[in-house]
């Protein structure tokens, strides 16, 4: 498949006003678009896939998590979703794409990605509730890539091809049904539960240490 030169690729990337997200031309291959995605977000040449640890912010607090093999498999597809949907990698954008992925059938067997997406949904309820809702409803009429296993062959396909395959043809025409709204409420609650569960797991060692110190001093 004919590829596009580096200079041409940069000419085919524009910025969406007010969002800061990169808009990738449909003529680009997913591989070419992904290189630009890595570059514009400062992710390095390999997207950070081989790093041993990843930093996740629980609200304003950074938490370091192991970059497991399951997470590596999920994020390779997640990054292609960013390119196809054009959601940015900001806090607001990550909430939107997480809602879109869950609305579009979820992450199936990619269990490591489920937790991160649900936590992003919980944060999105506070920082971007309208965008979160719209993205979830868009996802309800879309498909995602989590039914597949990532292979390098995927990167040879055009961005436009996958937009046609995954995104609804007429995104604004269908009104959410009662079932759509009930699904959003369910996953919003699941996101909140996952968020507080992750907080408890992350800070339980510190809480346990504090209890031990208090008991040692006879204060508890």
Please, which contacts does 35-44 make with residues 24 or more away whose CB atoms are closer than 8 Å? 35/9, 36/9, 36/10, 37/79, 37/82, 37/83, 40/13, 41/89
- Residue 21 is predicted with a pLDDT of 42
pLDDT tens-digit profile of 42-79?
A: 999 999 999 998 887 766 677 788 899 999 999 999 99
DSSP state of 158: B
Specify the number of domains making up the chain. Answer: 1
- Does residue 1 belong to any structural domain of this protein? no
Range of the domain at 87: 6-216
The proportion of the chain whose per-residue pLDDT surpasses 90, expressed as a percent, equals 68
- Choose between 67 and 215: higher pLDDT: 67
**Using alpha carbons only, what angle is made at residue 179 by residues 142 and 104, rounded to the nearest 5 degrees?**
20
pLDDT tens-digit profile of 102-152?
A: 999 999 999 999 999 999 999 999 999 999 999 999 999 999 999 999 999
- Does residue 160 belong to any structural domain of this protein? yes
């Amino acid at each position: 498949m004919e590829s596009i030169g580096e200079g041409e690729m940069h000419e085919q990337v524009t910025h969406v006003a007010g969002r800061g997200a990169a808009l990738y031309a449909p003529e680009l291959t997913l591989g070419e678009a992904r290189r630009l995605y890595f570059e514009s977000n400062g992710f390095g040449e390999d997207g950070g896939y081989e790093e041993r640890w990843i930093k996740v912010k629980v609200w304003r607090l950074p938490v370091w998590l192991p970059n497991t093999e399951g997470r590596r498999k999920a994020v390779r597809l997640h990054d292609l979703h960013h390119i196809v949907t054009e959601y940015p990698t900001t806090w607001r954008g990550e909430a939107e794409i997480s809602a879109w992925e869950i609305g579009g059938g979820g992450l199936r067997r990619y269990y490591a990605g489920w937790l991160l997406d649900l936590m992003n949904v919980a944060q999105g309820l506070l920082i971007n509730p309208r965008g979160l809702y719209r993205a979830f409803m868009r996802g309800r009429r879309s498909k995602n890539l989590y039914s597949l296993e990532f292979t390098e062959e995927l990167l040879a396909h055009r961005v436009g091809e996958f937009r046609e395959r995954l995104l609804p043809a007429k995104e604004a025409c269908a009104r959410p049904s009662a079932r759509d709204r009930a699904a959003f409420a369910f996953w919003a609650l699941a996101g909140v539960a996952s968020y507080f569960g992750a907080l408890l797991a992350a800070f339980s060692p510190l809480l346990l240490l504090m209890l031990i110190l208090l008991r040692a001093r006879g204060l508890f």
